[in-house]
């Protein structure tokens, strides 16, 4: 089968890498791709948001299945566009994608379905939101309702911080139209876990759990980013706890969407916090996570195209997922200054050496090719991933690889998975 992957980041490189390893696949294409995807697939010079052109290309080039990586094309209705032309595509419809594209919609669904989540209120103007803050107890969380590349959430310890966050979102419009609505919700405490699940609109099958590290600096300090690293499986996730999340969160969400006439086919990503009262939903995404995909797929033993086809064909209940024992770790190497301003165009060294290492894979994110060499081209540049029998072994391996790679201004965290490492050592 011939597969097209939509997107240009580390997630899309990981998907192309995994698909390319399948015996069922004889051609992988990535639009638009990056310097890394070019090594495992054929890049197609069409932007991910050009949905009509992508559909024409897929039809003309006999693509059997398209896999959508980023949320923006999903929000634009790329799945609807492809399906209208009789093309097979893995991902939710524009309506079902509202689970991510509108936090207001998502939280209302959770409330209506009785799914555990923080108490919240939604506001469409700055004055009413500001008045509400004056009557609350802190800390609180302020969120832009729309898509903000993982950066539209601020935990506010004081009323002053909350007003600043509100002003940035609703008045200064730092996230554009994503700030048309704002959520103010209670601040929950506990460790966070990412639980991604395949769904065919009826059946839900969770993947191995993972834990993202969003703040820019060690010790979870600094501004939130799109993710500075990740590990899997999450240290606190027992089979019983994963089953509780499946039964209390994932299944009711998919059932609620189906009853509303928007069946969810694709990857449902639940950002969950493990509170003293049990797991509660922080937010949903409607696609593979980034960098979660980079640690999940190396542990997947079941053929990925078989899973994707089963979802598209509504027979996910026939598939049994198998996972490798052990752990994987991804360390994101970013541009200096990220998530604020940064420079690009710097040559990257060490990639050829690390490519020879066993059980290590460098997933390109913000890169492009110049003269046959990879150079930096974004905020998150690389996702260096390693897997091994234990988290400690995977961590040692991945940081050994990171230390061999370099470019001007390279920035990364040194503590990805370190909280879990202490738990592993005491078991």
In a domain, 111, yes or no: no
- Given 137, 170, 186, the domain boundary residue is 186
| pLDDT number for residue 424 | 55
In a domain, 101, yes or no: no
One domain, residues 47 and 127 = no
One domain, residues 207 and 281 = yes
Mean pLDDT of 143-156: 86
One domain, residues 224 and 312 = yes
Please state, for a pLDDT cut of 70, what percent of the chain lies above it: 98
* CATH number for 44: 3.40.50.20
In 3D, which of 332, 326, 324 has the Cα closest to residue 393?
326
In a domain, 299, yes or no: yes
In a domain, 87, yes or no: yes
One domain, residues 313 and 337 = no
Query: Token digits for 54?
Result: 């992508």
One domain, residues 384 and 333 = yes
For the cut 70, the answer to whether the pLDDT of residue 137 exceeds it is yes
One domain, residues 87 and 133 = no
For the cut 80, the answer to whether the pLDDT of residue 149 exceeds it is no
For the cut 50, the answer to whether the pLDDT of residue 426 exceeds it is no
In a domain, 112, yes or no: no
Please state, for a pLDDT cut of 90, what percent of the chain lies above it: 93
Mean pLDDT of 169-192: 93
Residue 107 Cα distances to 99, 113, 262, 352, angstroms: 9, 10, 16, 46
Q: pLDDT tens digit string along 69-115?
A: 999 999 999 999 999 999 999 999 999 999 999 999 999 999 999 99
Q: pLDDT tens digit string along 279-299?
A: 999 999 999 999 999 999 999
* CATH number for 262: 3.30.470.20
In a domain, 106, yes or no: no
- Given 140, 168, 186, the domain boundary residue is 186
Parent domain of 336: 327-426
Q: pLDDT tens digit string along 380-413?
A: 999 999 999 999 999 999 999 999 999 999 999 9
* CATH number for 416: 3.90.600.10
- Given 94, 128, 153, the domain boundary residue is 94
In a domain, 208, yes or no: yes
One domain, residues 211 and 293 = yes
One domain, residues 285 and 371 = no
Residue 290 Cα distances to 2, 128, 134, 228, 330, angstroms: 24, 35, 36, 10, 10
In a domain, 114, yes or no: no
One domain, residues 245 and 300 = yes
What confidence category does residue 423 fall into, taking pLDDT thresholds of 50, 70 and 90?
A: low
One domain, residues 345 and 406 = yes
Q: How many domains does the chain have?
A: 4
Residue 4 near residue 68, CB atoms below 8 Å: no
Mean pLDDT of 220-247: 95
C-alpha span between 31 and 37 (Å, rounded): 10
For tokens 């969003």, name the residue.
Answer: 214
Q: What is 8-28 written as a DSSP string?
A: -SHHHHHHHHHHHT-TT-SEE
Query: How close are the terminal C-alpha atoms of the chain, in Å?
Result: 44
One domain, residues 171 and 218 = no
Mean pLDDT of 244-252: 98
For tokens 């509400």, name the residue.
Answer: 132
One domain, residues 155 and 198 = no
Q: pLDDT tens digit string along 288-346?
A: 999 999 999 999 999 999 999 999 999 999 999 999 999 999 999 999 999 999 999 99
């Amino acid at each position: 089968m011939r597969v097209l992957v939509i997107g240009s980041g580390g997630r899309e490189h990981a998907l192309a890498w995994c698909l390319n390893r399948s015996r069922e696949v004889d051609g992988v294409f990535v639009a638009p791709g990056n310097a890394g995807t070019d090594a495992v697939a054929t890049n197609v010079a069409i932007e991910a948001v050009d949905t009509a052109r992508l559909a024409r290309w897929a039809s003309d080039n006999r693509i059997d299945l398209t896999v959508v990586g980023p949320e923006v094309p999903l929000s634009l209705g790329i799945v609807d566009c492809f399906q209208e032309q009789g093309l097979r595509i893995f991902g939710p419809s524009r309506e079902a994608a509202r689970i991510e594209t509108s936090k207001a919609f998502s939280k209302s669904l959770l409330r209506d379905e009785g799914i555990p989540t923080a108490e919240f209120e939604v506001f469409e103007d700055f004055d009413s939101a500001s008045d509400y803050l004056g009557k609350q107890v802190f800390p609180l969380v302020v969120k832009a309702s729309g898509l903000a590349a993982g950066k539209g959430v601020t935990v506010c310890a004081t009323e002053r911080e909350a007003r600043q966050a509100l002003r940035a979102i609703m008045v200064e419009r730092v996230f554009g139209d994503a700030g048309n609505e704002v959520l103010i919700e209670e601040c929950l405490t506990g460790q966070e876990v990412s639980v991604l699940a395949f769904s065919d609109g009826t059946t839900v099958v969770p993947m191995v759990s993972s834990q993202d590290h969003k703040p820019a600096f060690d010790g979870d300090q600094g501004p939130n980013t799109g993710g500075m690293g990740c590990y899997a499986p999450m240290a606190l996730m027992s089979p019983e706890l994963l089953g509780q999340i499946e039964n209390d969160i994932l299944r009711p969400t998919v059932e609620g969407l189906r009853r509303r006439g928007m069946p969810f086919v694709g990857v449902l990503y639940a950002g969950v916090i493990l509170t003293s009262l049990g797991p509660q939903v922080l937010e949903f995404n409607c696609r593979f996570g980034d960098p979660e995909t980079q640690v999940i797929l190396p542990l997947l033993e079941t053929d990925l195209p078989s899973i994707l086809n089963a979802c598209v064909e509504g027979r996910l209940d026939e598939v049994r997922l198998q996972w490798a024992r052990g752990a994987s770790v991804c360390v994101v190497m970013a541009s200096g200054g990220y998530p604020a301003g940064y420079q690009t165009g710097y040559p990257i060294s060490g990639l050829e050496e690390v490519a020879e290492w066993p059980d290590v894979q460098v997933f390109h994110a913000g890169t492009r090719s110049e003269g046959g060499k990879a150079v930096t081209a974004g905020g998150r540049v690389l996702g260096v991933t390693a897997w091994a029998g234990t988290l400690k072994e995977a961590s040692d391996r991945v940081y050994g690889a990171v230390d061999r790679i370099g470019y001007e201004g390279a920035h990364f965290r040194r503590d990805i998975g370190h909280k879990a490492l202490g738990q592993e050592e005491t078991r």
